[in-house]
Structure 1
Amino acid sequence: MIITSCTPPPMMEGLDMKMFVSPKDRLDFYRKEIHHEANNLSARTNAYLTAQSFLVIAYASSMANTNPEWGPIFTLIIPPMLALFGVLSSMSAWPGIQAACDIINHWHRKQTDLLSCQPEIGPAYDDAPLFSSWESSYQGQSKALIFSKRTPWLFSAFWLFLGLFALIIQLL
């Protein structure tokens, strides 16, 4: 079915009711989406950190080159190039990490709205809240995403420093 602005609202409401039989089904769907996107974010962050760690090793090895014939030109060219590559890889990792964080925030907001609008699905069997107030607030969710969001920016600054350091050491 193609959804256009001409689609009548009653048709959409009936479709929504078929997809989610109960508020718990809707909550389960939101939780699965959050879990899926958190796994995507984790995989992206892990791949990014792994790549950065190999770049740091290559940078340190290239700075330690003591070959008397070609060592000075090697340490003048390769470490700044690795630093530039580190900055570029950080800049290309950022959109994917930011997109995953935005999607997680979207589903988390929908979950929070559902829990506040449907109080009967909030309490668990022992009348304790299903989610703590910190867990279901936007502030709690945003704090959980800070590491993944900041890592590309921190590594970009780190690589800029290392690139300048390599040039200054060799040229002075």
Structure 2
Amino acid sequence: MTQIITDRNSDPTPEPVQTSHDAKMFGSPKDRLDFYRREIQYETSILSHRTDAYLAAQAFLVIAFASCMANINPEWGKFFTLTVPPLLAILGIVISLNAWPGIRAAYDIIDHWHFKQSELLSSEPVMGLAYDESPLFCEMESTHKGYKKSLMFSVRSPWIFGCFWMALGAFSLYIQMT
């Protein structure tokens, strides 16, 4: 099978004109809303998994820190409690600093999809009315204030634990030095 290659600019057949229906990626505003909702759910589950993994790591570090501080071995306990707990505190700070960008990125993506959803609901009056009349939905979940409050724990936890580890590290050094 042979094919004739021609210059596209010299081709006399015009490109088919795209209709507004073809230009839309989704068939209806409902399809678009469903897509936004799925993306929000997917990103929220990613944020949840990242937060769970981060909190599990922090829990193990707190247990290890407490165990190290409780060391009363007369031969090497003093040196051990002087070095290991501050190192664990530094590790906790490093983990917090490394967890922050991933948690923040997931939060920003969720924020983006919520913005798209609220714009869709405000730009499509029929969709907005149907959305507001439905007993399963309320306006609280489509506003910035509503979902941001629900995500604050995940966003703030690296900063809270970072400060917590700085305080614990300073405390462990203070206890051993005095």
Structure 2: stretches of 5+ with no match in the other structure: 1-16
Deviations 1:118-166 (A, max 9, x none): 1222344994466322211111121111111100000000000000000
Q: 1:101 corresponds to which residue? A: 107
User: Aligned in 2, Cα 1:40/1:34: closer, same or farther, shift over 3 Å?
Assistant: same
How many residues were matched structurally? 162
Aligned AA (2:74): P
Deviations 1:40-94 (A, max 9, x none): 0000000000000000000000000011101000000000000000000000000
Q: Alignment partner of 1:135: what SS? A: helix
TM-score for the superposition, normalised by structure 1: 0.87
Q: 2:44 aligns with which of 30, 38, 48?
A: 38
User: Aligned in 2, Cα 1:125/1:37: closer, same or farther, shift over 3 Å?
Assistant: closer
Aligned AA (1:161): A
Larger Rg: 2
Q: Aligned-residue CA RMSD in angstroms?
A: 2.1
CA distance in 1, matches of 2:103, 2:53: 11
| Pair 1:58 & 2:61 matched | no
Q: 2:157 corresponds to which residue? A: 151
Q: 1:160 corresponds to which residue? A: 166
CA distance in 2, matches of 1:41, 1:161: 27
TM-score for the superposition, normalised by structure 2: 0.85
Q: 1:122 aligns with which of 115, 125, 128?
A: 128
Aligned AA (1:120): V
Q: Is the CA contact (8 Å cut-off) linking 1:122 and 1:131 kept in structure 2?
A: no
CA distance in 2, matches of 1:124, 1:13: 24
CA distance in 1, matches of 2:174, 2:123: 60
Q: Is the CA contact (8 Å cut-off) linking 1:90 and 1:153 kept in structure 2?
A: yes
Q: Is the CA contact (8 Å cut-off) linking 2:132 and 2:139 kept in structure 1?
A: no
Q: Alignment partner of 2:72: what SS? A: coil
Q: 2:98 aligns with which of 92, 98, 119?
A: 92
